[in-house]
Amino acid sequence: MKFEKIKYEDLNAKAKEMYNFQKVSARLADYGYTTLWLNNDWKGADFIAVHVDGVTDIKVQLKARLTFDKKYIGKNVYICFRDGDDYYLYPHDEILEQIEYRISDKKWVDSGNYSSGKLSKNNKELLKAYKI
């Protein structure tokens, strides 16, 4: 059998989600985490990452871009997204507290969700510590 690499851009939405989950899982393994995909969003999470210390676990919502949503507030959810070859995994509420004053987007004001497809210089700097 000959393996041929795929082009991410050619994948459909569900295939991109699974691709990103597999890539993130591999990176989290370097930090001592095993991941478990959830068939249904559970308390805002697509998957759970469990650390080898037997104590630490995190609920993760996988997104296509930097995202904030009021429905995640207080749920102790981490958001993970891909930006080119980089992946970021950040605590939703903690980063929202640092960025909310800058979000003047009508969608955020009206419906309580915000996302950005391109990371600004400020957001890249803010998320630097959460790059995995």
| Angle, CA 131 vertex, CA 126 and CA 132 arms, to 5° | 165
Q: What pLDDT sits at residue 104?
A: 72
Per-residue pLDDT averaged across 28-56, rounded? 94
Does this model's pTM top 0.85? My answer is yes
Q: What pLDDT sits at residue 110?
A: 81
Query: At residue 49, does pLDDT exceed 90?
Result: yes
Q: Are 105 and 68 spatial neighbours (Cβ–Cβ below 8 Å)? A: no
Half-sphere exposure (Cβ direction) of 37: Cα atoms closer than 13 Å:
10
Q: What pLDDT sits at residue 112?
A: 84
Q: Under 8 Å CB-to-CB from 35, ≥6 apart: which residues?
A: 21, 24, 25, 28, 47, 48, 49, 50, 60
Q: Are 72 and 92 spatial neighbours (Cβ–Cβ below 8 Å)? A: yes
- CA nearest 25: which of 34, 16, 12? 34
- CA nearest 45: which of 28, 57, 34, 55? 57
Could you give all domains of the chain from N- to C-terminal order, each with its CATH number? 8-130 (3.40.1350)
Q: What pLDDT sits at residue 10?
A: 97
Amino acid at 98: Q
Burial label, 24 (beta-carbon count in 10 A; 0-12, 13-18, 19+): buried
pLDDT tens for 52-89 read: 999 999 999 999 999 999 999 999 999 999 998 899 99
